[in-house]
Amino acid sequence: MKNFIKGNNIRLENGLIFYTDVETKEQIKKPFTLTLDSVHEKLSKIKYEKEYKECKNVKDYTIERTRMIPFAYVYYYHIAKNMQIPTPKEFVDEYFELFCKKKENNKYTFKQKFNISGRKNIEFDYLSLKARILRSYNTFNREIEFLIKLNERMKDIKITYNLYDDLFSGIDLTTEYKNKKIGIAEYVNTKRSKKFKDDKNDHRQNYENKEMIDVVATFDGKKKNVCSYGEVFCYDDKTVWKLEKQIKEKVTTKNDTFSNKVF
């Protein structure tokens, strides 16, 4: 999986998106033109519950425990190619088209060159994988909305996204202010999400600056920090202001500490 992502990494920085075409292997660089207004308009029209209803109660423990090409890759690959957030159906269809093939018995398997499951003859039902894919969908919507929101509203702080760092270093976003880099870890305030976050922390070995800030999505109570666009919940404006303050405080504190050192 690491080798696949290394060869097909997706990066967003300096107003550009970088990716590799899966079929032609061409390395592509083009302007990243998604705006907050266009994303909000698209999110408000997404009918997630209608699409998820068909499979929400399907849970095949074989497919739940199977390693596969990360869903995040397909989500950001779709954006890179189309400069649009995928609908739930587009997200599922593209994953199956890229990495799966249908067998004569109406079961599915992974295409041989993309089979990282460790099993030669794995088979699964369409709905079981669809359910697993869609459970991740709104997390990606929240992350891309937050990235664009930070880019548009924190003018003096550089925001970058690197799929490899996201998947293998536990860094969802990297911010840079006054030449100091601080990583952002985003997750939901649930046991499952915290476990994934802890797993990511275990892999954070080579990050050049291990300074991190956690941004936790909380959906109710006094600490609620999300707002809705249709059926999709994203971080509210207060979260942006709070993060900007934290970044600048950390950088200022670091600089003051350095300037007060006696050599």
pLDDT given for residue 120 in this prediction: 84
Q: How confident is the model at residue 62 (pLDDT cuts 50, 70, 90)?
A: confident
Over the stretch 213-259, which tens digit does the pLDDT of each residue have?
999 999 999 999 999 999 999 999 999 999 999 999 998 876 654 44
Residues 8 and 126 in one domain: yes
Residues 131 and 196 in one domain: no
> What one-letter code names the amino acid at 167?
L
Tell me the backbone φ, ψ of residue 16, rounded to 5 degrees.
Answer: -125, 155
In this structure, the strands spanning 212-217 and 180-188 are parallel
Q: 203: domain range?
A: 156-258
Overall number of domains in the chain? 2
Residues 232 and 205 in one domain: yes
The one-character DSSP state at 226 is E
Residues 13 and 75 in one domain: yes
Query: 115: closest CA among 64, 149, 67, 151?
Result: 67
Choose between 118 and 193: higher pLDDT: 118
The arithmetic mean of pLDDT across residues 113-138, rounded, is 93
The per-residue pLDDT of the chain, averaged, comes to 89
Residue 27 covered by a domain: no
> Coil, strand, or helix at residue 20?
strand
Task: Rank 139-143, 166-170, 194-198 by mean pLDDT and report only the highest.
Answer: 139-143
